[in-house]
Amino acid sequence: MTAILKKELASFFTSAVGYVVMAVYFFFGGLFFYYYCLMNSSKDMATLFSNMFMITVLIIPIITMKSLSEEKKQKTDQALLTSPLGLGEIVLGKFLGAVVMFLCCMVIYLLFAITLCFFPDGAPDWSVFIGNLAGTILLGAAMISINLFISSLTESMIISAIVGMCAGLAIFFIDSIANLVSIDWISTAITSISFVGHYETYTSGIFSLADTVFFISVIALFNFLTLRVLEKRRWS
Amino acid sequence: MVEVKNLVKTYGDIKAVNNISFTVNDGEILGFLGPNGAGKSTTMNIITGYISSTSGTVTINDAEILKEPKEAKKQIGYLPEIPPLYTDMTVRKYLEFMFSIKKVKLPKDEHIDEILSLTKLTDHQNRIIRNLSKGYKQRVGLAQSLLGNPPVLILDEPTVGLDPSQIKEFRNLIKGLGKKHTVIFSSHILSEVSAICDRIVVINNGEVVADAKTDELSTVITGKGNLSIEIEGSVTSVVSTLKSVTGVQKISVDRKITENHHLYNIEHKKEVDIRRAVFAVLAKNNMPILAMNEGGMSLEEAYLKLTSRTTAKGGKK
C-alpha cells in the first residue's frame, strides 16, 4: 500500500497536476483571505473556509481524475492486479495518495492563521480554526472517495473530471434542491445527506461526532464501491 | 508447474476461451500459438489472475489462482501484450516500484542491478520510459516480469514490434530464461515458437487444436508419416514397386523434374520407418534414389491446416 501511495504522490509532483492544483487552491484561498480577513480587518476565518467549500469540491476531481481511469487506459492496471497486492491495498493507496495531496493544499490555511497572528489582537479563534480545518479535511476526503469511485468507472480522465465536478456541484446545491421538493419526507431525507449541513457544525468550532461519522461513512462507502468496481471488472 | 484445466471464458454469447486444458512442466518453454484473436491473451490474463474464468481452474505450483491469489501471483512474472509501464517514471524508479508491489524479499539494489544487466538496460536506467524506443520499452516490460525471480514466466507476444536483431536477442534471452524458469510464451509467428519452445500448444477459436512436442507437431496433426523422395525411373514402375513396401499408404507424384525423374510423396503409417525398405526395393529394381526427405508436411503447413479449420468443432485435443 505504501508503494502505491508513494507512487501516487510522485506522479502528482513529476507531472504538473500537483503544482497546478496547489496554485489554484492557494490563489482562491489568498483571494478570499485578502477579501474577508485583511480588507475587512477581521480575524474570523470561518467565512474564508465556507467560501473554499466550492473550490474544494471543484479541485478534487482534478486530483483524482487520473487515479484509476488512466491505469485502465494505459493498461498499467494489469501490473497492479497481477501483483500479489490485494485490491484493498490498491484502493487505499490511491485514496491516501490523493488525501495527502489535498493535505498539501491545506498548508495554506496555516500560513493564513500565522499571518493573522502578526496583527495586534489578530490571532484567530483557534477552536474555530481547527474545527474548520478538520471539517475541510473530512469534506475533502469524502469528495476524494466519491471522485475515486467515479474515476474507477471510466477510462477517460476528462469524463472522470467532468462527472466529478458535476457531482461536487450537485452536493453543493443539494439544500436548494431539497427546497424545491414539496413532499416533506423526501426533502428531509435530501437535507440529511447534505454535505454543507454536516460541514456547518465544524465552522463554529464544534466537534460533532454525528457529522464526523457521516463523513467517515461516506469515505468507507465509496471506497468500498470502488473496490467492488475493480472486483467486478475481473468477473465480467 | 502450471496446470490449466477446462478453462472457459464467455463474454455474453461469445466464447472467447472454450474448454482449454494443458499442463506446463517445470523448466519447460511452452509455445502458445494461434492466429490473432484465438484467445491467447484471454487465456494468459486468466492464468495470471487479471481476469477471472467463467469456469475451470488454473493452478500454479499447487496454488489455485482464484482461491489463493496472493500465493499464486507471487510465483508469476507476467509481460502482457502491452507492457504495463508508467511512462513518466525512469526505468530504475519503475523497477523499484514494481519491486515493492511484488513484495520481493531480495536485496533491492543488487537485484535490480542484476535484472538491468540481464535485460541490457543498465545504460538506460535513468532514462524516462516515455522517451525509450519500442524495443527498449519491451525490455523494461520483460525486466519487470523477472523481478523476484518468479518460477513461472508468462510472456504475451513479447517480440511484436521489434526489429530482426532485437527479436533474435530476445529469443536468446528467453531461451536462457527457460533453463531456470517455466515459460509460457505466446506468439502468432510459427517460426519463432518452433525456434524457442520445447512444446507447442496451438489454439484456434478458443480451443486447443494441438498439443505436442515441437518436432512431433506435424506428425501429430496429420497422424501419418510423410516421405518426400526423388526417384529416377518411369512413374508406373516406380509406383508399383513402392506399393510392395509394407506400411506405405498412398503414393503421389509431387512434381516432374525431367522426363524420367520425379518427386514423389509417400504417406505411410507413422509407427513404421519405411526408408530402408524403400531403398532396398528401389535398388533391387535399379531405380536410383536422388534425394529423400522425411516429414513432407512442414510445420508451417501443419499450422495453417490446424488454424484454417475455423468452424470445425472439436479438433484434436
Q: What is the pLDDT of residues A182-232, one digit of tens each?
A: 888 888 888 888 888 888 888 888 888 999 999 999 999 999 999 999 988
| Chain-chain contact of A79 with B101 (C-beta, under 8 angstroms) | yes
Give B208-262 as a DSSP string: EEEEEEGGGHHHHHHSEEEEEEEEES-HHHHHHHHHTSTTEEEEEEEEEEETTEE
Give me the pLDDT at residue B313, please.
42
Interacting residues of B260 by C-beta distance below 8 A, sequence separation 6+: B232, B233, B234
Query: Using the beta-carbon criterion (under 8 Å), do B70 and A84 form an inter-chain contact?
Result: yes
Q: Do A78 and B74 touch (CB under 8 A)?
A: no
pLDDT band for B315, please (50, 70, 90 cuts): very low
Nearest CA in chain B to A16: B88
Contacts B101 to A, Cβ<8 Å: 3-4, 79-80, 83-85
Which residues does chain B have within 8 Å of residue A11's beta carbon, measured at their own beta carbons?
A: 86, 88
Spell out where chain B has E strands.
Answer: 2-11, 14-24, 29-33, 55-60, 63-64, 76-79, 152-156, 182-187, 199-204, 207-213, 224-232, 248-258, 261-269, 289-294
pLDDT at B13 over 90: no
CA distance B59 to chain A (A): 15
β-strands B199-204, B14-24: how paired? unpaired
Q: Which of A6, A14, A86 sits opposite B88 (nearest CB)?
A: A14
Given CB atoms, is B51 within the 8 Å cutoff of chain A?
yes
Cα Dmax for chain A: 64
pLDDT tens track for A129-166: 998 999 999 999 999 999 999 999 999 999 999 999 99
At B61, list the grid cell: 505450483
Contact A14 B48 (CB under 8 A): no
Can you read off the three cell numbers belonging to residue B197? 519452445
Question: Looking at the partner chain, which of B49, B52, B86 has a beta carbon nearest the beta carbon of A82?
Answer: B49
pLDDT number for residue B143: 93
Taking an 8 Å cut-off on Cβ atoms, the answer to whether A82 and B76 are in contact is yes
Across residues B203-226, what is the average pLDDT?
A: 78
Percent of chain B with pLDDT over 90: 31
Q: Place B317 in a pLDDT band, splitting at 50, 70 and 90.
A: very low
| Averaged pLDDT of chain A | 91
Contact B219, B225 (CB under 8 A): yes
Beta bridge partners of B255: B263
Q: How far apart are CA A80 and CA B146, in angstroms?
A: 15
Q: Which residue of A has its CA nearest to B99?
A: A3
Give the model confidence (pLDDT) of B130-152 as tens digits. Answer: 999 988 999 999 999 999 999 99
Residue type, A135: G
> According to the model, what pLDDT value does residue A148 have?
96
- pLDDT of A26: 95
- Single-letter amino acid code for the residue at B82: I
- CB-CB under 8 Å, A81 with B50: yes
A120 band by pLDDT with thresholds 50, 70 and 90 = confident
Residue in B with minimal Cα distance to A236:
B11
Above 90 in pLDDT, residue B165? no
Give CA–CA dist A158/B242, Å, rounded: 74
B311: closest CA of chain A, how far (Å) = 26
What is the nearest CA distance from B204 to chain A, expressed in angstroms?
22
Looking at the complex, report in whole angstroms how far the Cα of residue A29 sits from the nearest Cα belonging to chain B. Answer: 30
Whole-number percent of chain A with pLDDT over 70: 100
Yes or no, beta carbons of B101 and A82 under 8 Å apart: no
Contact assignment for B82 to A85 by CB distance below 8 Å: no
For chains A and B, CB pairs below 8 A equal 67
| Between A75 and A121, the higher pLDDT residue | A75
Q: What percent of chain A has pLDDT over 90?
A: 57
Confidence at residue B312, expressed as pLDDT on a 0 to 100 scale: 42
Q: Residue B50 is nearest to which of A2, A14, A78, comparing CB atoms?
A: A78
Which B residues, 90 through 149, put their C-beta within 8 Å of a C-beta on chain A? 93, 97-98, 100-103, 144
Q: What is the pLDDT of residue B310?
A: 54
Query: What is the structure's pLDDT at B220?
Result: 67
CB-based burial label for A213 (10 Å; 0-12, 13-18, 19+) = exposed
Q: How far is B52 from chain A (nearest CA, A)?
A: 5
Instruction: Give the mean model confidence (pLDDT) for residues B3-27.
Output: 89
User: Which residues, 6+ apart, have CB-to-CB distance to B167 below 8 Å?
Assistant: B159, B192
Query: Cβ contact (<8 Å) for A234 and B52?
Result: yes
Rounded to an integer, the average pLDDT of B168-197 is 85
In this structure, what C-alpha cell is assigned to residue B206? 478458443
pLDDT, average across residues B272-290: 88
Q: Is B164 helix (H, G, I), strand (E, B) or coil?
A: helix
**C-alpha separations of B107 from B99, B112, B142, B153, B289 in Å:** 10, 9, 20, 21, 64
**What's residue B221's pLDDT?**
65
CB-nearest partner of B80 from A4, A75, A233? A75
pLDDT at B306 over 80: no
Q: Is A42 exposed, middle or buried (0-12, 13-18, 19+ CB in 10 A)?
A: middle
CA dist B280 → B228, B232, B244, B283, B295 (Å): 16, 15, 11, 5, 20
Distances (CA, A) of B266 to A179, B225, B300: 90, 8, 19
Contact A82 B102 (CB under 8 A): no
* Of the candidate ranges A170-174, B170-174, B298-302, the one whose mean pLDDT is the lowest: B298-302
Q: Which helix (H) or strand (E) holds A60?
A: helix A46-64
